């Protein structure tokens, strides 16, 4: 392990895309629903449209246009728009609620559970996600994600990349920012964490946006660690 990382006591994980495969999971649920209902839907495009509404919706909260609104409720606002756009009009309220909670049932990447168990032996492992606490807890129960604790923008009432989310996580852990390492598949999340003094680990998730998409996953020396997956991260952290 790099000597400057000896102070790290906790790892804070981005979740959507970093720990779980949101696109594949949502598309699977949409495909099942479409089959049950006899609908024709491009499930991958539906997933992408739903996800595309995510950052704009959080921006409406960050700008003050909306009061604090948790992700479950933002997901539902976006879902209603996407259903209209895809001309899906026959779902009952219960079916829409169930579909909205597909985000509570996202499946982890193949290395995630084993990697987290290894990392947990040496570090506090926490979520630091924009997902709300109930979503993250239900996901953990479904998928067997062994978090020590669930931290969320919901606790700090600030969505990443607001400084309050990163600094709030360090504070509530009783740690200095430099004792916390942000782990994410997204460079912007890591850059914002680094600006607040957190350590950073990039984990490559080349399939997050589907086959044929090429997110920018080139290693960057500015990050403390560049890892292929959670097992590689555990190797590089000596656990």
Instruction: Provide the binding-site residues for its own copies, judged by CB under 8 A.
Output: 72, 124, 132-135, 137-138, 140-141, 147-150, 154-155, 172-175
Q: How far is the CB of 55 from its own copies (least distance, A)?
A: 23
- Shortest Å distance, C-beta 149 to its own copies: 5
Residue 222 Cβ vs its own copies, minimum distance, rounded to whole Å: 29
Q: Are 160 and 183 in contact (CB under 8 A)?
A: no
Cis peptide bond prior to 29, omega within 30° of 0 = no
Nearer to its own copies, 174 or 219 (CB): 174
Nearer to its own copies, 140 or 185 (CB): 140
Report which DSSP code applies to 153: H
- Closest approach, Cβ 176 to its own copies, in A, equals 12
Q: Which contiguous run of DSSP H or E holds residue 144? A: none
Minimum distance from residue 163 beta carbon to its own copies (Å): 19
CA distance 131 to 70: 8
**Among 68, 2, 72, which Cα is nearest to 227's?**
2
Nearer to its own copies, 32 or 97 (CB): 97
Evaluate the CA torsion angle 6, 12, 15, 17 in order and state its sign.
negative
- Angle of helix 22-37 relative to helix 43-52, nearest 10 degrees, comes to 130
Give whichever of 12 and 27 is closer to its own copies, judged by the CB atom: 12
Between 39 and 133, CB nearer to its own copies: 133
């Amino acid at each position: 392990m790099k000597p400057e990382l000896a102070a790290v006591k906790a790892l804070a994980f981005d979740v959507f895309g970093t720990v779980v495969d949101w696109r594949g999971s949502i598309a699977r649920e949409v495909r099942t629903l479409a089959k049950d209902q006899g609908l024709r839907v491009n499930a991958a495009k539906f997933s992408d449209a739903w996800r595309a509404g995510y950052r704009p919706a959080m921006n409406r909260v960050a700008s003050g246009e909306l009061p604090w609104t948790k992700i479950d409720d933002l997901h539902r606002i976006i879902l209603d728009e996407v259903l209209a756009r895809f001309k899906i009009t026959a779902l009952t309220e219960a079916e829409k609620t169930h579909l909205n909670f597909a985000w509570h049932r996202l499946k982890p990447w193949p290395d995630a559970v084993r990697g987290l168990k290894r990392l947990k032996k040496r570090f506090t492992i926490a979520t630091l996600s924009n997902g709300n606490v109930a979503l993250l807890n239900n996901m953990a129960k479904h998928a067997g994600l062994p978090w020590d604790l669930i931290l969320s923008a919901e606790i700090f009432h600030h969505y990443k990349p607001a400084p309050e989310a990163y600094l709030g996580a360090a504070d509530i852990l009783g740690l200095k920012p430099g004792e916390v390492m942000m782990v994410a598949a997204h460079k912007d999340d890591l850059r914002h964490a680094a600006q607040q003094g957190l350590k950073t680990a990039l984990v490559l998730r080349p399939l997050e946006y589907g086959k044929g998409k090429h997110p920018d996953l080139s290693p960057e020396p500015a990050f403390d660690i560049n890892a292929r997956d959670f097992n590689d991260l555990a190797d590089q952290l000596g656990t």
